[in-house]
Structure 1
Amino acid sequence: MTSVAIIDYGMGNLRSVAKAIEHVAPGHDVFVTSDPARVAAAERVVFPGQGAMPDCMRELDARGLRPAVLAAAAEKPFLGICIGQQMLFQHSAEGDVPGLGILPGEVVRFPEAKMVATDGSRLKVPHMGWNEVRQCGPHALWEGIPDGDRFYFVHSYFVVPADASLTAAETDYGVRFTSAVARANIFAAQFHPEKSAAAGLRLLANFIRWQP
């Protein structure tokens, strides 16, 4: 039985993440927690989030969870989701705040002046809905997921890694942006696997089995 901690720092609907993981990992110990000790004891860690980056960083620190996140990202299978991906980077233009600095790069807003679809129509920000995810190379979490499969997005900002080798997938929405990153024991996605039907459930199942 694997223990999976879903970090709760007060931002986002974590029950949907927990329910999705419980669905693909029956019999495993899946729990939502804001206790740094329980995060430290877990074998796998999921770091989700929704909302504004400044609020997320503030609440993470208010609950004393920063050291636990840094330690987990350094040593055990670690999955970041949405804002949980963005917080891994050095800086965000949303509120002009520093992130956790685990991965090199920054978080920027979609350039609304350039947001035009291939048919010439304007694209709205936030980017909300289903879109194709183009895999940049093989990874254990892509196993059984066709390249170009569609996942569900809700965001106005996206990550720009300083190291191109971090990019695990890209998506087009007016601009081509990094929609997933991977390094060693870390995998993080801008999309919501828990809202992405079969493809998302497969990615979560792959995470439970992943041995980086």
Structure 2
Amino acid sequence: MAQLFFRYGAMASGKSIEILKVAHNYETQGRHVLLLTSALDDRTEIGAIASRIGMQREALAIHDTDDLFTIARQAEAISAVLIDEAQFLTRAQVRQLTEVVDVLDIPVMTFGLKQDAFNQLFPGSEALLIYADKIDEMKTLCSFCTRKATMNLRITDGKPVYSGAQVQIGGDDAYMPVCRRHYNHPEINKIAARMKEL
């Protein structure tokens, strides 16, 4: 029976590499997948799922006006729908994904952040937390210590930022995965050293 999955984690927790691995596993068994990602993510290029370790693959770039049920229904012989950057989905799109699962009987696996850099839920993540059949956290370490990273610290000009626009696309140059303690009390000297390395 098909289910809706939400796998979330802080930045650098391996979400993109995991979605590429899942796609590869399906395809080595001769099954086709529909790979989707947000058109907002232009870090590599629009319509690309790219991991920090250099793996990359084309995906269909989706906008907030796209009907994901219609896209999945019109796709040919797919065994699964895989979505990267799921935090950028709209609430309506998450409900459309429930229809992909419940009506089309196609499993949907979504990967993304749970909350933004100011610890507010993204709309897509909030809806996935409500509607997903299975929710799983992908773990990574804090940039400053050995605790689990549960938050994303936004960095601008080498300094932590605690207010601003919810969506600001960026990678290692703009965000650090951190634990709660170091979100509230980051080590400025380590931030500066990291920025020099990039």
Q: Normalising by structure 2, report the TM-score.
A: 0.34
Q: Which of the pair has the greater relative contact order for Cα pairs under 8 Å at 6+ separation?
A: 2
| Higher-strand-fraction structure | 1
TM-score in terms of structure 1 length = 0.32
